[in-house]
Structure 1
Amino acid sequence: MASLETLLLRMNSEMSSQYTYLKDKQEQCIKLCQSRDVLAVLPTGYGKTVIIQALPYIEEDSKCCLVINGLNAIIEEQEKRFGDRCINITDEVLKLLEKDDNPDLMHSTKAKDTISRLKNVDLSIRFILSHPENILHPKIKQMLMTEDWSNHITHVVIDEAHLVLSWGKQEFRPAYMKVGLIKTFLKKDTKILALTATANLAAQKQIKSVLQMVDTAVITESPNRPNVFLEVLKRPPSTGGVNCTEDAMFKTVDPYLHKLKVEGINFPKTIMYVPLKWCGVLHHRATTFQEEAGEEEMKPYVSQYHAPQSKDMKALITHRMHETHDSLRLVFATEAYGTGIDVPDIKQIIHVGPPNTMETYVQEIGRCGRNGQQATAVLYYNNTDIAANKEALKSEMREYVKNEDRCRREFLLGYFGFNAPTNRDKHKCCDICKKSCSCDLCLNTSCSSGSEEIPMKYSKKKQEVAKHMLMQYFHAENNLINEYVFPHLHTGLSDSFAASLASKPAYRNYVKLSEDFPMLKGSYLLNISNILSQVHTMKI
Structure 2
Amino acid sequence: MDLKHRLLQESFGYASFRPGQQKLIDAMLAGRDVLGVMPTGAGKSICYQIAGMLLPGVTLVVSPLISLMQDQVAALRRVGLSACLLNSAQTPEERRLAIRQAAMGRCKLIYVAPERLMQPDFAQLVNHLPIGMVTVDEAHCISQWGHDFRPSYRKIPEFIRSLPRRPVISAFTATATAQVREDIAQALGLHAPERLVTSFDRPNLHYEVRRVYDREAQMVRFIAEQDGSSGIVYCLTRKKTEEMARYLCDNGIRAAAYHAGMEPMARRAVQQNFVGGSIPVIVATNAFGMGIDKPDVRFVVHYGMPRDIESYYQEAGRAGRDGASARCLLLFDESDIALHEYLIGLDPENPALTDEEVEWLKKRRLERLSQMKRYVFTDQCLRQHILRYFGQEAPDFCGQCGNCEASSIEKDVTVDAQKILSCVYRTKEQCGADMLCRILRGCADVDICAAGYDALSTYGILRDAEPEDIAAVISHLISRGYLIRQENPHIRLRLSAGAKNVLFHGEKVRMRVRVSQKEARLARASSQSERPELSRELRKYRQKSAARHGIPPHSVFSDRTLEALVHALPQTEDEVQAVAGADGRAKKESKAILRVIQKYCSVYFSEKE
TM-score range, shorter chain: 0.5 to 0.7
Secondary structure of the residue aligned to 1:342 is: coil
| 1:270 aligned partner, one-letter code | G
Bigger RCO (CA 8 Å, 6+ sep): 1
2:21 aligned with 1:26: yes
Q: Structure 1: which 5+ runs fail to align?
A: 97-107, 237-250, 290-297, 448-453, 455-472, 485-509, 512-520, 534-540
Aligned-partner Cα distance in 2 for 1:524–1:234: 42
2:178 aligned with 1:201: yes
Aligned to 2:394: 420
- Post-superposition CA distance 1:418-466 (Å, at most 9, x none): 22368x861x23423545589xxx999999xxxxxx9xxxxxxxxxxxx
Q: Contact between 2:235 and 2:284, CA under 8 Å: does it hold in 1?
A: yes
Aligned to 1:81: 75
Shift of 1:226: 0.9
Taking the TM superposition and a 5 Å limit, the aligned residue runs for 1:338-487 are 338-387=289-338, 389-390=341-342, 391=344, 392=365, 394-404=369-379, 406-420=380-394, 426=399, 428-434=400-406
Aligned-partner Cα distance in 2 for 1:425–1:170: 29
Aligned to 2:200: 223
Q: Contact between 2:320 and 2:326, CA under 8 Å: does it hold in 1?
A: yes
Aligned-partner Cα distance in 2 for 1:167–1:306: 26
| 2:42 aligned partner, one-letter code | Y
Counterpart pick for 1:182 among 159, 163, 170: 159
Shift of 1:308: 1.1
Aligned-partner Cα distance in 1 for 2:205–2:388: 17
Aligned to 2:137: 159
Identity of paired residues, percent? Answer: 25
Aligned to 1:38: 34
Aligned to 2:255: 302
Q: Contact between 1:29 and 1:38, CA under 8 Å: does it hold in 2?
A: yes
Taking the TM superposition and a 5 Å limit, the aligned residue runs for 1:285-324 are 285-289=247-251, 298=252, 301-323=254-276
Shift of 1:136: 2.0
Q: Contact between 2:72 and 2:291, CA under 8 Å: does it hold in 1?
A: no
| 1:125 aligned partner, one-letter code | C
Aligned-partner Cα distance in 2 for 1:446–1:378: 16
Secondary structure of the residue aligned to 1:350 is: strand
2:242 aligned with 1:280: yes
Aligned to 1:496: none
Shift of 1:192: 0.8
| 1:32 aligned partner, one-letter code | A
Aligned to 1:267: 228
Counterpart pick for 1:252 among 190, 193, 215: 215
Q: Contact between 2:96 and 2:125, CA under 8 Å: does it hold in 1?
A: no
Counterpart pick for 1:72 among 66, 71, 78: 66
| 2:66 aligned partner, one-letter code | N
Q: Contact between 1:168 and 1:177, CA under 8 Å: does it hold in 2?
A: no
Instruction: Give the aligned length.
Output: 409
Secondary structure of the residue aligned to 2:387 is: helix
Q: Contact between 1:349 and 1:378, CA under 8 Å: does it hold in 2?
A: yes
| 1:431 aligned partner, one-letter code | N
User: Per the alignment, do residues 167 and 179 of structure 1 end up closer, same or farther by CA in structure 2, a change over 3 Å counting?
Assistant: farther
Q: Contact between 2:140 and 2:173, CA under 8 Å: does it hold in 1?
A: yes
Q: Structure 2: which 5+ runs fail to align?
A: 345-364, 411-513, 524-532, 545-565, 568-595
2:91 aligned with 1:114: no
Aligned-partner Cα distance in 2 for 1:313–1:525: 43
Shift of 1:314: 2.3
| 1:254 aligned partner, one-letter code | A
Name which of structure 1's ranges 278-287 and 38-47 shifts more when overlaid on structure 2: 278-287
- Post-superposition CA distance 1:254-310 (Å, at most 9, x none): 2443576x77x9333321111222111222223334xxxxxxxx37x1111111122
User: Per the alignment, do residues 12 and 39 of structure 1 end up closer, same or farther by CA in structure 2, a change over 3 Å counting?
Assistant: closer
What TM-score results when the alignment is normalised by the length of structure 2? 0.59
Aligned-partner Cα distance in 2 for 1:6–1:528: 47
- Post-superposition CA distance 1:77-109 (Å, at most 9, x none): 22223437233222256x63xxxxxxxxxxx6x
Aligned to 1:245: none
Secondary structure of the residue aligned to 2:318 is: coil
User: Per the alignment, do residues 446 and 407 of structure 1 end up closer, same or farther by CA in structure 2, a change over 3 Å counting?
Assistant: closer
User: Per the alignment, do residues 345 and 288 of structure 1 end up closer, same or farther by CA in structure 2, a change over 3 Å counting?
Assistant: same
Q: Contact between 1:169 and 1:177, CA under 8 Å: does it hold in 2?
A: no
Shift of 1:48: 1.6
Aligned-partner Cα distance in 1 for 2:8–2:335: 53
- Post-superposition CA distance 1:28-69 (Å, at most 9, x none): 11122223221100111111221122223545xx43211110
Secondary structure of the residue aligned to 2:210 is: strand
- Post-superposition CA distance 1:330-388 (Å, at most 9, x none): 32211021211232222221112211111111111111122333221111222232349
Aligned-partner Cα distance in 2 for 1:446–1:69: 44
User: Per the alignment, do residues 357 and 191 of structure 1 end up closer, same or farther by CA in structure 2, a change over 3 Å counting?
Assistant: same
Shift of 1:160: 1.4
| 1:142 aligned partner, one-letter code | Q
Secondary structure of the residue aligned to 1:349 is: strand
Q: Contact between 2:256 and 2:270, CA under 8 Å: does it hold in 1?
A: yes
Name which of structure 1's ranges 344-353 and 219-228 shifts more when overlaid on structure 2: 344-353
Aligned-partner Cα distance in 2 for 1:170–1:269: 27
Shift of 1:126: 0.9
Shift of 1:20: 5.1
| 2:48 aligned partner, one-letter code | I
Aligned to 1:124: 106
Q: Contact between 2:41 and 2:322, CA under 8 Å: does it hold in 1?
A: no
Aligned-pair Cα RMSD in Å: 4.0
